[in-house]
Amino acid sequence: MYSNKYIFIYSSIMVIIVAAVLSTAAMLLKPFQDRNIVVEKMRGILSSANIESTTNDAIKLYDKYIKEEIVINTSGEIVSNYENGSFTKGDIRAFDIDLKKELYNKSKKLNYILPLLVCEKDGKKTFIIPLYGKGLWGPIWGYFALSDDYNKVVGVTFAHKAETPGLGAEIDTKAFQQQFIGKQIFDDKGDFTSIKVVKGGIDLIPENLRKHGVDAISGGTITSNSVSDMLNDCLENYLPYIKKQK
């Protein structure tokens, strides 16, 4: 029969050993985890520009097609530019910006900056805007790619943390995302409209507005509305910059 002292010492040693093993494993795995996060982010960016990638070639394709990473302020001025692997202005990479943090700063009426990625493929430029918002059960995010006139949608990707499977979770499917291609965020007068996710489908709205809308997810009304809100809230931040470019 072991004494209480023996059991206490044995348990303490085992706890220390297990803690040391777990800590070491976490440190060893962290570089791989960090790389996976970077690769997944690159794949989302590329996918919005209709460039398919894998975990093996995402970094290579990102370096090939993403020619510029622009950081802009609330006035639409460029404060940093990372082009073809080096800085031409400032020292902040758009890729590294924590959009959630910047949008929080905006909500608190603090200064914030915005990332904008420039993709070049087949001689055409695509401007990619990162997105972040609130879904039904957790955050939703994605990337929104515009043509070189800053109006027509080239492609989008959406992802989520905890939306309902078969309902709101459908925002990350090709069927939902491909609806956005060819839609426009400005009307014929040049006024900003964003893209609305329409409950019941765009057949319910006037024909002249259908180029600014897509069909909502059946049974996923709250998540669909969240996507509409995210698009409007994030895209409008770039209006000062877009106006300076036109």
The per-residue pLDDT for range 150-168, each reduced to its tens digit, is: 999 999 999 999 899 988 9
CA distance 223 to 230: 10
CA distance 181 to 241: 22
- Whether 18 has a pLDDT exceeding 80, the answer reads no
Percent of the chain with pLDDT over 70: 90
Q: Residue 87: in which H helix or E strand, if any?
A: strand 86-89
- Whether 99 has a pLDDT exceeding 70, the answer reads yes
* Confidence tier at 12 by pLDDT (50, 70, 90): confident
Instruction: Give the least confident one: 19-28, 135-144, 183-192.
Output: 19-28
Domain boundaries, the chain: 44-245
pLDDT value at residue 14: 78
> pLDDT by residue (tens digit) across 24-63?
766 765 666 677 889 999 999 999 999 999 999 999 999 9
Coil, strand or helix: which one is 244? helix
Average pLDDT, the chain: 92
- Whether 8 has a pLDDT exceeding 80, the answer reads no
Coil, strand or helix: which one is 91? coil
In the chain, count of helices (H) and strands (E)? Answer: 6, 9
Token pair recorded at residue 216: 């909502």
